[in-house]
Amino acid sequence: MGFDSNWIGGYLSSNKTYDWNRMLDTLCFLHEIGYSDSQMGDLFRKDTALLFEGSGKQFYAVVGGFFLNWAFKMSEVYALVLKNPQILSPKCSKNFWKALHFLFEIEMEPDNIAQILSIHLKFLGSHSLKGLKTVLRNFNGDKHSLCESIKNDPTTFFSLAFKSNICSAEYVAARNPSSFVEKTEFLLRIGYVENSDEMVKALKRFRGRGDQLQERFDCLVRAGLDFNAVSSMVKQAPTVLNQTKDILEKKIEGLRNYLGYPVDSIVDFPSYLCYDMERISRRFSMYAWLREKGAAKPMLSVSTLIACSDARFVKYFVNIHPEGPAVWENLKKSLPSS
């Protein structure tokens, strides 16, 4: 692992005794779950207490005292520790045990406790808890109500019981861990910076699984838009990807069929894709009619046609032709509202 005797000696104390067999077992376990010598070296350099404080006692407290006693398979324990190595550190394991004790105190069933702790392991290990009495004030001292609330939505536990405020990204992750990972991976692929404020905002605004967001993104690329252009559009108007692939395709078709505009005419106005089809079809039809009559300039921008209020559209696009109001009323009756 690249440690010399001087480095090791710097973390040992003559006032303490060490269980070298237990420390060796800790190294063997980490090796079994896939850590190379260099990775273990990096791990212990970052957190020497993981190995030297208590001779790996925290490791046994978490792995042996909880997971194995709760009928987790060793392969499952390996996977959890590999994904969340920080849980073995003294601080994280202390927070972890406090969370376990808290859930026992409110008489939660073992299966529910195991599910919550295994899914939200990293989250629970990184935050310290308030006392049970403090949290129960929100439930008039009723442990059963608190227990049921946590089972229905574990994030209730996080928001009420943690001493420190939870940042938005963590809260999104806690509510749906798998969805959070999928969305994060998608955002990284299209150019978002990991853990940036921009990404946090996007995670809160996007609806759908990561694969659904990717499908909608790809739909716009296949329509003829450049990958980088679509990435920029999504950053400007994240809710573009909250619509289904079919709806996005209809709006692209509307742009072409009603006006004959190229798809890149919306690159500077991505919010076009967020407006409903009723507004789009009626306004585009009205403008197309005006162009045929020679009453409107050709190739007006999409934003000019769509973004203005209804009153302004009527004033500048309907009332400019004597027959305009009648045509507009007919369009409102004949074109579908969705």
Q: Residue 240 belongs to what domain range?
A: 178-270
Domains in the chain, number: 4
User: Does residue 104 form part of some domain?
Assistant: yes
Query: Among residues 26, 59, 86, which one ends one of the domains?
Result: 86
User: Does residue 232 form part of some domain?
Assistant: yes
If asked whether residues 101 and 162 sit together in one domain, one would say: yes
User: Does residue 286 form part of some domain?
Assistant: yes
> Counting beta carbons within 10 angstroms of the beta carbon of residue 119, is it exposed (0 to 12), middle (13 to 18) or buried (19 or more)?
middle
CA–CA separation, 288 and 302 (whole Å): 12
Query: Among residues 254, 270, 286, which one ends one of the domains?
Result: 270
Cβ contacts of 36 within 8 Å, gap of 6 or more: none
Report the DSSP beta bridge partners of residue 162: 129
CB neighbours (10 Å) of residue 225? 22
In the three-class reduction of DSSP (H, G, I as helix; E, B as strand; rest coil), residue 57 is classed as: helix
Phi-psi map region of 143: left, alpha, beta (phi>0 left; psi -120 to 50 alpha): alpha
Q: What is the pLDDT of residue 256?
A: 92
Judge contact between 278 and 338, C-beta under 8 A: yes
User: Does residue 142 form part of some domain?
Assistant: yes
Q: What is the pLDDT of residue 209?
A: 80
Q: What is the pLDDT of residue 168?
A: 46
Residue 193 DSSP class:
P
Q: What is the pLDDT of residue 259?
A: 92
* Phi (first) and psi of residue 10, to 5 degrees: -70, -15
User: Does residue 11 form part of some domain?
Assistant: yes
CA–CA separation, 234 and 213 (whole Å): 11
Name residue, tokens 């694969």. Answer: 211
If asked whether residues 189 and 258 sit together in one domain, one would say: yes
Give alpha helix (H) positions in 84-142.
Answer: 90-105, 110-119, 121-125, 132-136
If asked whether residues 247 and 259 sit together in one domain, one would say: yes
Q: Which amino acid is at 24?
A: L
pTM over 0.95: no
Per-residue pLDDT for the chain (338 aa), expressed as one digit of tens each? 555 555 555 555 566 666 667 677 777 766 765 667 777 767 666 656 566 555 455 555 555 545 545 555 666 666 666 666 666 666 777 787 788 788 888 888 877 887 777 777 777 777 777 888 888 887 888 888 888 888 877 766 676 777 655 544 444 554 555 566 778 888 888 888 877 778 877 877 787 788 889 999 999 999 999 999 999 999 888 889 988 999 999 999 999 999 999 999 999 999 999 999 999 999 999 999 999 999 999 899 999 999 999 999 999 999 999 999 999 999 998 875 54
